[in-house]
Structure 1
């Protein structure tokens, strides 16, 4: 049996070792020089808290609301007068009411006590027109201003106005006194102002007016129906433009209508009428003569300029 040759063991190769070379670290960059300290704030005046970490939102002093209702009533009324100063004295059905009045009346939403005071002051210090006279879509509306208000609002009014003259040839169909107008709710109204813009019975309107004293009858019936529905009215104040004569047929018809109802008659500031009819007639004749003289002077000046 042959002996097997044993090969000598070969030396093993050394294992491969992974070497990592670490580069030397760079020296750190030099720090910038320290910034100069800001200038110190001036000391706060006496009575104010200095700002600082100790003053937080929770530590601020609580500001108490102004107790407006603790003021005397006279001062509160003065505040209301100043607040509503830019609202016109006579309120009509006007497209500008939202801009001029509605936003102002937002004050009544503050509280219930303020609501009662503000509404009472506002509606008792303004004159409300019964039938609209603003030209446009409101003039012929079938729902006047009072018909758009609530009964408790109408109950706070004190003075109403009826303006005669617009639509003298054909009054609008909405100019009628009925239950929807709500005059029976105006329990505080003590006076009705009647303002006459023109008298169709004057000779200037001849050929344009309706005959048989149409406008005089219409105005008298309208005023009678309105006054009879107001429970506590006691006075009617007449006023007019300068062209309206007190001795004219329309004014005499209206004055007789009011006196037949047993109400007092007073006069407004525009025309300046008084209880002395003779004096008023002389004043009106004098104004008419002055007006005719002024017209003649203007015609003479125009004629001289045309030469």
Structure 2
């Protein structure tokens, strides 16, 4: 009986040692993990880096003071915090996209005392290349922030080349606006306000080269507001162009086709274009 107990003890003692030896063997045979090297972004050509910055920083709409900036703008600006070099390369790309001069009428910052341009540091103002001026909303009661005072910072926009003027409505020549113009206001009050805004921008920004006009279909090119603005641009010696929505440069009498109207205008049933048919009574 004694030899049997001795043999069982030896078997029990060798079991843990065999498991440990197999574990050590497996550890020795597995390769050591290699350290992952960071991507050398700055080794890329400068043209490719700028294109990557555009994809990462540009937004579909003009940059403006809106409540959802923490979702659309703030995550993009995290790129500025990577390093000093990336910040110096990225911020001119971000501010090269259109910046709205005064807040949109649908924004809760519409009547703020400080528009976006006034809130920016001088370094960022100097990088702005395109401003957007939105006209029409607030015509009955013009917000106090819509002016070209020196505190706005227009004189520091040394890289500004293009001003995009979008006209949502023209309240100067339609009877439906009568009775809503406010105290001591005439049909030309808002028109001259817009002309003064445009003149103030052109005077304070000598680097401005191009003024682009676009509008909704209800706005006529030969209306009092648009005509006065076009005349002011020509007096200032700036290049006048028209936006893609109305395409006023194609046909002066074109009312403008957008959305469903444009789709219906280009629609053709069948493989052949429609032909005229003469009908005799």
> Normalization by structure 2: what TM-score?
0.77
Larger Rg: 1
The equivalent of 1:152 in structure 2 is 123
Which of 197, 202, 212 aligns to 1:222? It is: 197
Decide whether the 8 Å contact of 2:173 with 2:187 is kept in 1: no
Against the structure 1 CA distance between its residues 158 and 136, is the aligned structure 2 distance closer, same or farther, given a 3 Å change threshold?
closer
CA RMSD of aligned residues (A): 3.1
Equivalent in 91, 94, 102 of residue 74 of structure 2 = 102
175, 198, 213: which one aligns with 2:188? 213
Post-superposition offset of 1:286: 10
Partner of 1:12: none
**Runs of 5+ consecutive residues of structure 1 not aligned to the other structure:** 1-26, 42-49, 291-307
User: How many residue pairs are counted as aligned between the two chains?
Assistant: 244
Confirm or deny: 8 A CA contact 2:129 2:161 kept in the other structure.
yes
Gaps of at least 5 residues in structure 2 are: 262-281
Map residues 218-297 of structure 1 onto 2, 5 A cutoff.
218-274=193-249, 279-281=251-253, 283-284=254-255
Structure 1 CA distance, aligned partners of 2:257 and 2:128? 39
Residue 71 of structure 1 and its aligned partner are, at CA, apart by 0.7
- Alignment of 1:164 with 2:139, yes or no, is no
1:43-66 residue CA offsets vs partner (Å, 9 max, x unmatched)? xxxxxxx9615879xx64333222
For 1:1-307, what aligned pairs fall within 5 Å after superposition?
52-53=27-28, 60-84=33-57, 87-124=59-96, 126-203=97-174, 204-209=176-181, 210-274=185-249, 279-281=251-253, 283-284=254-255
Structure 1 counterpart SS, 2:73: helix
User: CA separation in 2, counterparts of 1:200 and 1:111?
Assistant: 50
For 1:72 and 1:136, the matched residues in 2 are separated by 40
Report Cα offsets for 1:161-201 as digits up to 9, x if no partner.
11001101111011111121111111111110000000002
Structure 1 runs, 4 residues or longer, greater than 4 Å off: 30-38, 53-56
C-alpha spacing 1:286/1:53, structure 2 compared with 1 (3 Å): closer
Q: Distance in 1 between matches of 2:177 and 2:256?
A: 19
User: 2 CA distance for matches of 1:285 and 1:196?
Assistant: 13
Q: 1:251 to 1:114 in 2, by over 3 A?
A: same
Post-superposition Cα deviations, 1:48-105, rounded to whole Å, max 9, x if no partner, equal: xx9615879xx643332221100112222232233235x2341111111122112211
- The 1:136–1:101 alpha-carbon spacing in structure 2 relative to 1, beyond 3 Å, is closer
1:247 & 1:109 partners in 2: Cα distance?
A: 49
**Alpha-carbon separation, structure 2, partners of 1:74 and 1:61:** 32
Instruction: Please tell me whether the aligned partners of residues 94 and 134 of structure 1 are also in contact (alpha carbons under 8 angstroms).
Output: no
